[in-house]
Amino acid sequence: LSERLNGVLDKLTKRGQLGEADVDEALREVRVALLEADVALPVVKDFVAAVRAEAVGERVVKSVTPGQMVIKIVHDELVKVLKPANDAGGVAGAGLDLNHPAPVPILMLGLQGSGKTTSTAKIARRLAEKQGKKVLMASLDTRRPAAQQQLAILGEQTGIKTLPIVPGEPPVAIAKRAMNAGRLEGYDVVMLDTAGRLAIDDELMAELAQVRDAVKPHESLLVADAMTGQDAVNTAKHFQDKIGITGIMLTRIDGDARGGAALSMRAVTGRPIKLLGTGEKLDQLEDFHADRVAGRILGMGDIVSLVEKAMEATEQEEAEKLARKMQKGQFDLNDMAQQLKQLQKMGGLGGIMGMLPGIGKMQKQLEGRMDEKVVGRTLAIINSMTPKERRLPDIIKASRKTRIARGAGVQVQDVNKLLKQHQEMARMMKQVSKLGQKGLMRHGLS
Ligand code: GDP
Ligand code: MG
């Protein structure tokens, strides 16, 4: 695939912005790559359409081909889709939520053989060892002979308590007994391992719904095999519709499957992937990292890192240019727009300004004042200006302001606010650049 892709990429060497033809050509290869990674077809279609809209018109970084640029955009979009909504970049958002009065009920769901029982023990072990939690495990799998014993054995291996087995007891009764024991014996967490089926069936769903209503789980984890291919969508949708899940644990990530199920399940349920199973052993449990899984699904890591390097180089050049301008006391609206785009892209972190000594503080102020919506609106205003206006903001008087405001769909006072903000920034830039001369030289930026 990679060879074929490079062939296509080599043909596309036009500079500047990404045209529709560039994007479509590269996305054809992306579509194949995603299907090969076993992402479900409807999910591939939606994803590719979304990326297409994102990519057309994007600027191509110096020294990469348009096709390579598209791959990088696809990769970033994939990371964005896979990332939990409340994850600002760290581990927050990933992992389990235990913010609930003890004992916290955690329900493990999934098809037979997906790894529920193993994962139950893995999670319990981690909660006990890493977080000092007192965990009780209970198996509600009354269907498969010896399933309850399997969990009991894992309990002995890990030193995690399991609920004593009462032969013939139905699943809902086991669940209630587990919660009672959890309350009476002071457990922090009660993990409920459920029965699975080879395929979705109504009887199982009814049983699981009863369990859910009896214990009101705080987390309901869908355990899914990373090798699940096109079925992933169906399975995930069913569990989400019939039971409701709070997250996904993807197992057998140690196998050679590219893990397209991760994208399929994330897309159809809207729920985050929280944990990964990376082997049969009980310590083979990892937090989910969107960038790693995205890289694996797309399978074009070389191209992505190539573009990243090119972007870094370009960024460095731009930083140097900006530093020189600042020293001369020039900081026009183009520079401001560029800074804002940087803020947007990096989620407010780092960026060119962060590289310049003394500016970190100002950047924080800017961030505080500018949420994403404001940044978008500000950029829209700058976009409605002529190149000359951007270079020489002083020429923007009343009639120009009216035109710009109309073009950006805002009020004249918004344009005024922006101009004032720019003046303030330019003034601070000048001050900082005076103070920061030494620092700039030390950083090799002057
Ligand atoms: P359940 O039917 O959903 O409870 O699945 P089990 O927990 O019994 O697991 C079925 C098989 O998958 C067992 O042989 C496990 O050792 C294996 N398994 C579970 N998780 C992983 C994993 O992350 N990687 C690998 N390679 N095997 C796993
Ligand atoms: Mg099991």
Question: Which CATH number fits the domain that encloses residue 406?
Answer: 1.10.260.30
Query: What CATH number is associated with residue 39?
Result: 1.20.120.140
Let me know whether 132 and 40 are in one domain. Answer: no
Q: What mean pLDDT is reported for the chain? A: 84
Are 281 and 328 found together in one domain?
Answer: no
User: What is the mean predicted confidence (pLDDT) over 207-218?
Assistant: 96
Better-predicted residue by pLDDT, 296 or 16: 296
- Same domain for 126 and 230, yes or no, is yes
CA of 289 to the centre of ligand 2 (A): 26
Distance CA 223, CA 271 (A): 12
Same structural domain for residues 7 and 50?
yes
Q: What is the pLDDT of residue 364?
A: 57
pLDDT greater at residue 14 or residue 116: 116
At 305, the amino acid letter reads S
pLDDT of residue 67: 87
Residue where one domain finishes, among candidates 264, 298, 332? 298
Confidence bin at 246 (pLDDT 50/70/90): very high
Highest mean pLDDT pick, 126-140, 223-237, 318-332:
126-140
Q: Which of 298, 332, 363 is the last residue of a domain?
A: 298
Same domain, 61 and 142: no
Q: How does pLDDT run across 395-445, given as a tens digit for each residue? A: 999 999 999 999 999 999 999 999 998 888 888 777 766 665 554 444 444
Residue predicted with more confidence, 240 or 201: 240
Which residue in 183, 135, 143 sits closest to 159, CA to CA? 135
CA distances for 373 relative to 221, 335, 340, angstroms: 34, 19, 12
How remote is the CA of residue 290 from the centroid of ligand 1, in Å?
A: 22
Task: Please indicate, yes or no, if residue 303 is contained in any of the structural domains.
Answer: no
Both 293 and 322 in one domain: the answer is no
Query: How high is the pLDDT of residue 12?
Result: 45
What is the per-residue pLDDT for 435? 62
Range in 151-165, 214-228, 324-338, 390-404 the model is least confident about: 324-338
**pLDDT of 88 strictly over 90:** no
* Cα–Cα nearest to 304, from 73, 136, 84, 147: 73
Of the pLDDT bands very low, low, confident and very high (cuts 50, 70, 90), residue 92 is very low
Q: Which residues line ligand 1 (CB under 6 A)?
A: 110, 112-118, 196, 251-252, 254, 277-280
Average pLDDT over residues 220-246: 91
- Summarize pLDDT for 154-168 with one digit per residue, the tens: 999 999 999 999 999
The answer to whether position 305 is within a domain reads no
Instruction: Report which ligand 1 atom has the smallest distance to the Cα of 112.
Output: 2
Cα torsion 348, 354, 358, 361 to 10°: value is 10
Ligand nearest, relative to CA of residue 112: 1
The rounded Å distance from CA 224 to ligand 1 centre is: 10
- Please provide residue 380's backbone torsions phi and psi, each rounded to the nearest 5 degrees: -60, -40
Position 198 scores a pLDDT of 81
Rounded to whole angstroms, the Cα distance separating 84 from 266 reads 9
Residue 303's pLDDT is what?
81
**Do 135 and 280 sit in the same domain of this protein?**
yes
Domain that holds residue 341: 315-442
Q: Which residues are annotated as a binding site for GTP?
A: 110-117, 193-197, 251-254
Ligand at minimal distance from the CA of 250 is: 1
Q: Is residue 154 part of a domain?
A: yes
pLDDT of 200 reads 80
- Strand order from edge to edge, sheet including 219-225: 161-162, 135-139, 189-193, 104-109, 219-225, 247-251, 273-277, 285-287
In the predicted structure, residue 194 carries a pLDDT above the cut 50 = yes
- Rg from Cα positions in the chain: 27
Under the banding of pLDDT at 50, 70 and 90, the label for residue 369 is low
The top-scoring range by mean pLDDT among 191-200, 255-264, 373-382, 401-410 is 401-410
Give 389's pLDDT tier (boundaries 50, 70, 90): very high
Output the pLDDT for position 440: 46
CATH number for position 258: 3.40.50.300
**pLDDT at residue 228 in the model:** 85
Got the DSSP string for 154-169?
HHHHHT-EEPPP-TT-
Q: Is 98 part of a structural domain of the chain? A: no
Residues 235 and 277 in one domain: yes
- The residue nearest atom 20 of ligand 1, judged by CA position, is 115
- Residues 199-216, mean pLDDT to the nearest whole number: 92
Cα(193)–Cα(122) distance, rounded to whole angstroms?
A: 12
End-of-domain residue from the set 52, 82, 112: 82
Q: What is the pLDDT of residue 433?
A: 64
Structure-token pair, residue 107: 């329900």
Please check whether residues 155 and 294 belong to one and the same domain: yes
Residue owning tokens 């829209």: 380
pLDDT greater than 60 at residue 245? yes
- Which atom number of ligand 1 is nearest to the Cα of residue 284? 23
- Kindly state whether residue 87 falls inside one of the protein's structural domains: no
Give residue-wise pLDDT tens across range 353-362.
Answer: 444 444 555 5
**Which pLDDT score is estimated for 66?**
86
ipTM > 0.95?
Answer: yes
Same domain membership, residue 287 and residue 352: no
442 or 254, which is more confident: 254
**Gap between the Cα atoms of 334 and 336, Å rounded:** 5
Q: Which of 37-46, 48-57, 93-102, 282-291 has the lowest mean pLDDT?
A: 93-102
Number of domains composing the chain: 3
Residue 402 falls inside a structural domain: yes
- Let me know whether 58 and 146 are in one domain: no
Q: How far is the CA of 121 from the centre of ligand 1 (A)?
A: 11
Answer yes or no: is 96 within a domain.
no
Residue 56 lies in a domain: yes
> Is 270 exposed, middle or buried, given 0-12, 13-18 or 19+ CB atoms closer than 10 A?
exposed
Residues 215 and 278 placed together within one structural domain of the fold:
yes
